[in-house]
Each structure stands twice: as C-alpha cells, then as structure tokens.
C-alpha cells in the first residue's frame, strides 16, 4: 500500500472515506453502471462529509489540503470497488483554482465549494484539435468589455451534475511561433444561457457530453489566470489531473490484484486451487512487483508536483499506472475465467472503467512523446 504520510487530519479523512465506502459497496457501483446513472447519493454524502472542498485554501474557509490527500482519497475509493471518475474533477479543478489568480467568480466558487457546491468539470478537448491542445478553436471575442464565447467541446465529463466548469478557450488566434499564447481559462456557471449539451454514450458509465457554446457571455471576473496567458495555469491543472488519476488507477490495480489473488486461492479446478499453478500465480506476482514500484513513484511524484519536474513525473506516473492497471485488469479477467465476464463480479465493470485511462486524460503515446522531448531531448514529433 502507498505510504501517504498524511498526518492526523489526513488519516481522519481517509477513515471517513472508508466509512462512506462501506455504505456504498460494490453492488451499488455495479447497479449504477448497469443503469448508467450518476452516483448522486454517493456524491451527496461525499460532500456532506466535507470531502469535496479539501483543496480550498484556508483564506476561503477550506482546510487547505493538497494533492496528496486528494490522491489518497481517489486511490481508496477505487481500491474499495468504487469509481473515482465521478470525483476527480472536483479535485483537479479546485487545485487549479487555488493556485491561479482569479476574479470574483473564483473567490465565490471557492467559498461555495467548501459548502458543498460542485466544480467538477474541465472543458478542454475539442473534436478537431484532439490531443493537439493548443489548436483549440472555441473563441472568446471581446465585445464592449465582455467576452462572447462560441465553439464546441467534446467528451466533457460530469457536465450534467456540476455547478461550475473550468473552460479553456482561445482569446487570440493560434500563432505557430507562440503556440501556447492566446489561451484563456474561464470559470463558468454550468447552467449559463449559451451552453447546450448532448450526452455521448461511452463504454463505461461516464456522464460525458458534447458541448456547444452559442454566444455564451462572460466577463473579466470569470477569468482564471491571465487573459491569453492561461496555459501555465492549465498545465498546473493537467499535471495535477494526471497525478490524481494515476493514484486512482493504482487503486484499481490494487483492487484487481486483491480480487484475483483471493479468487485464485479459493477456486479449485483439477482438485487444487488455480493459484497453485505458476501460469496463474506469476502474472499476479509480476503485477505485485510492478505495483510496489508504481506506488513508490506516486509518492515521489506528489513531492515533485509543485516543482520544475512536475511534467516529467506526472507523465511518467500516468503512463506507468495506466499500463499496470490495464495489465492487471486483463490478469484478473483471466484468473476469473468465465466469471470475469459475468457482470455481478464487478471485474468487467472495472475492466471497462480502467481502459478509459489508456486514452484520457492524455493518451499513452502523448505521455511518451512528452518524455521523449522534455526528458530525453529527442526531436519533437508532435
Ligand atoms: C469518457 C471520456 C471522458 C473525458 N473527459 C474529458 C473532460 O472532462 N474534459 C476534457 O477536456 N476532455 C475529456 N476527455 C477527452 C480526452 O482527454 C481525449 O479523448 C484524449 O485527450 C485524446 O484525444 P482524442 O480523443 O481527440 O484523440 P486523438 O488526439 O485523435 O488521438 C487518437 C490516437 O492517436 C494517437 N496520436 C495522436 N497524435 C499522435 C502523435 N503525434 N504521436 C503518436 N500518437 C498520436 C493518440 O495517442 C491516440 O491513441 C474525455 C474522454 C473520454 C473518452
């Protein structure tokens, strides 16, 4: 298990998460998956337990905790059979808000988040730009001191169940000589006129949407960071997102491993436990060895998250954790035989849930491209 080094307050948080997860056991998560429902009861209780606002700084009434506590919570929810997908947006959005300057909207939002409001969505991806983020074309045009936003986003998570979204748009056209210049972040009321959405049905239960902005009106008070210079703040959010999602992937990896080991010990075929066969036990032992290494890397990444090597560590961690969780998902499927394919064991649900992170929030190829260029000094391929 990860050595979180949380201190008394953090440990108390984790024990509250465990209590909550004992109320929302695996059958709850299986059922909302079958019915494609948002886990509204769980999320309400999560916020009532004051777990939603932990990253809000003390000057806004929050406890001012960090990515370490958030990662521990996401890991634990997944380790205990839940799906942190429905939570992680709240953490990386409030992480970005607490680190970047902003106007009135930000201050109000942070205070409201402490009281249970939801800031769970980052709207970045666009159909044409894809992984080439600086080519986004949703545009906020300045008119009489206001910003008028038009454009389209895709795969925007949790949109129908959030109060605020962090929106990345262009305020100046793309310039190949200064690719990251001209991007601005806005904090937006999700129910604003000018926002329409269409749900995208996906492989797992996601509440993901295609979103259309039609003359959405925003003001300077809604800007997070600086106009045209939002990319730095966006990067802080993306590194935190990669790290926190990696933590939940390692929670999944633990879940697959724990489940598969238990099943391999109990299931008898040819008059002995299947786990007595090296063909069954070696993939489990190999996954265990890799998990110990990945959990150590998670600890180191949390140390580096505010420093110069944040990109290198968070991309490495995201890459390793997604590979490992997906490998162990397949190992668990094999160990369970036909029962892995049956929905009520939860293995196939987790299998689908964990597969998402081979492509999101950054694809494995793009995480490797980052390392090739920034860590190894190889020519840029993208
Ligand atoms: C369920 C779900 C929820 C999501 N939630 C959000 C959200 O809340 N907010 C948000 O902003 N986005 C969200 N996303 C979007 C997600 O971040 C993107 O899907 C992801 O970044 C990849 O972009 P793309 O799908 O356009 O793939 P593309 O960029 O089209 O890439 C397709 C494939 O080509 C590969 N590829 C592309 N270029 C290169 C290259 N130069 N070298 C090597 N390989 C390359 C990629 O690795 C990938 O495998 C979500 C996606 C899903 C599926």
CA of 81 to the centre of ligand 1 (A): 26
Please state the atom number of ligand 1 nearest to the C-alpha of residue 203: 1
CA of 71 to the centre of ligand 1 (A): 23
Q: Is 117 helix (H, G, I), strand (E, B) or coil?
A: coil
Q: Does ligand 1 lie within 6 Å of residue 363's CB atom?
A: yes
Residue 262 has a pLDDT of: 98
Arithmetic mean of pLDDT over the chain: 97
Residue 248 has a pLDDT of: 98
Q: Is 102 helix (H, G, I), strand (E, B) or coil?
A: strand
Q: Does ligand 1 lie within 6 Å of residue 381's CB atom?
A: yes
Q: Does ligand 1 lie within 6 Å of residue 157's CB atom?
A: yes
Mean of the pLDDT values across residues 6-29? 96
Relative to beta strand 139-143, strand 195-200 is: unpaired
Q: Does ligand 1 lie within 6 Å of residue 208's CB atom?
A: yes
Q: Whose CA is nearest to atom 18 of ligand 1?
A: 360
Residue 2 has a pLDDT of: 87
Res 258 pLDDT > 90:
yes
Residue 327 has a pLDDT of: 98
The domain locations on the chain are 7-114, 121-230, 232-374
Q: Whose CA is nearest to atom 52 of ligand 1?
A: 155
CA of 10 to the centre of ligand 1 (A): 33
Rounded CA-CA distance 85/70 in Å is: 13
Q: Does ligand 1 lie within 6 Å of residue 382's CB atom?
A: yes
Residue 82 has a pLDDT of: 98
Mind listing the pLDDT tens digit for each residue in 177-208? 999 999 999 999 999 999 999 999 999 999 99
Mind listing the pLDDT tens digit for each residue in 17-27? 999 999 999 99
Measuring CA to CA, which residue among 320, 361, 368 is closest to residue 121?
A: 361
Res 343 pLDDT > 90:
yes
Fold of 7-114: Butyryl-Coa Dehydrogenase, subunit A; domain 1 (1.10.540)
Res 44 pLDDT > 90:
yes
Q: Does ligand 1 lie within 6 Å of residue 206's CB atom?
A: yes
Position 3 confidence tier, pLDDT thresholds 50, 70, 90: confident
Q: Does ligand 1 lie within 6 Å of residue 83's CB atom?
A: no
CA of 363 to the centre of ligand 1 (A): 6
Rounded CA-CA distance 43/150 in Å is: 31
Q: Does ligand 1 lie within 6 Å of residue 92's CB atom?
A: no
CATH superfamily of domain region 121-230 = Butyryl-CoA Dehydrogenase, subunit A, domain 2 (2.40.110.10)
Q: Does ligand 1 lie within 6 Å of residue 359's CB atom?
A: yes
Mind listing the pLDDT tens digit for each residue in 49-69? 999 999 999 999 999 999 999
Position 296 confidence tier, pLDDT thresholds 50, 70, 90: very high
Q: pTM of this prediction?
A: 0.97
Mean of the pLDDT values across residues 212-240? 96
Rounded CA-CA distance 100/233 in Å is: 6
- Length in residues, the chain: 382
CA of 374 to the centre of ligand 1 (A): 20
Measuring CA to CA, which residue among 190, 112, 194 is closest to residue 147?
A: 194
Mind listing the pLDDT tens digit for each residue in 105-120? 999 999 999 999 999 9
CA of 382 to the centre of ligand 1 (A): 14
Q: Whose CA is nearest to atom 35 of ligand 1?
A: 365
Mean of the pLDDT values across residues 347-353? 98
Mean of the pLDDT values across residues 196-221? 98
Mind listing the pLDDT tens digit for each residue in 266-295? 999 999 999 999 999 999 999 999 999 999
Position 1 confidence tier, pLDDT thresholds 50, 70, 90: confident
Residue 163 has a pLDDT of: 98
Please state the atom number of ligand 1 nearest to the C-alpha of residue 132: 29
% of the chain exceeding 90 in pLDDT: 98
Mind listing the pLDDT tens digit for each residue in 128-156? 999 999 999 999 999 999 999 999 999 99
184 CB contacts (<8 Å, ≥6 apart)? 140, 168, 169, 170, 171, 223, 225, 226, 227, 228, 229, 230
Fold of 232-374: Butyryl-CoA Dehydrogenase, subunit A; domain 3 (1.20.140)
Position 379 confidence tier, pLDDT thresholds 50, 70, 90: very high
């Amino acid at each position: 298990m990860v050595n979180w080094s949380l201190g008394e307050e953090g440990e108390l948080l984790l024990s509250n998460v465990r209590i909550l997860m004992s109320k929302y056991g695996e059958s709850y998560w299986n059922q909302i998956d079958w019915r494609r429902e948002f886990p509204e009861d769980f999320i309400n209780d999560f916020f009532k337990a004051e777990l939603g606002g932990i990253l809000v700084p003390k000057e806004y009434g929050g406890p001012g905790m960090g990515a370490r506590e958030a990662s521990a919570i996401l890991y634990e929810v997944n380790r205990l059979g839940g799906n942190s997908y429905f939570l992680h947006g709240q953490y990386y959005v409030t992480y970005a808000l607490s680190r970047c300057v902003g106007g009135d909207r930000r201050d109000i939002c942070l205070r409201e988040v402490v009281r249970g409001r939801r800031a769970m969505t980052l709207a970045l991806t666009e159909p044409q730009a894809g992984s080439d983020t600086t080519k986004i074309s949703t545009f906020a045009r300045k008119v009489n001191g206001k910003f008028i936003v038009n454009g389209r986003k895709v795969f925007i998570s949790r949109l129908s169940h959030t109060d605020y979204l962090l929106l990345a748009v262009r305020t100046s056209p793309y310039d190949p000589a200064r690719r990251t210049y001209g991007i601005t972040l806005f904090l937006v009321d999700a129910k604003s006129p000018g926002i329409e959405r269409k749900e995208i049905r996906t492989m797992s239960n996601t509440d993901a949407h295609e979103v259309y902005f039609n003359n959405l009106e925003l003001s300077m008070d809604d800007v997070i960071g600086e106009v045209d210079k939002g990319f730095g703040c966006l990067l802080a959010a993306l590194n935190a997102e990669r790290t926190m999602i990696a933590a939940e992937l390692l929670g999944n990896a633990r879940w697959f491993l724990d489940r598969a080991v238990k099943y391999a010990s109990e299931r008898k075929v040819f008059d002995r436990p299947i786990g007595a066969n090296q063909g069954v036990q070696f993939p489990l032992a190999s996954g265990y060895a890799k998990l110990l290494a990945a959990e150590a890397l998670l600890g180191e990444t949390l140390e580096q998250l505010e420093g110069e090597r944040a990109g290198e560590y968070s991309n490495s961690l995201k890459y390793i954790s997604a590979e490992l969780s997906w490998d162990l998902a397949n190992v668990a499927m094999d160990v369970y035989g036909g029962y892995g394919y049956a929905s009520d064991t939860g293995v196939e649900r987790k299998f689908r849930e964990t597969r998402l992170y081979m492509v999101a929030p950054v694809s494995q190829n793009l995480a490797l491209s980052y390392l090739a260029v920034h860590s190894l000094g190889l020519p840029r391929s993208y």
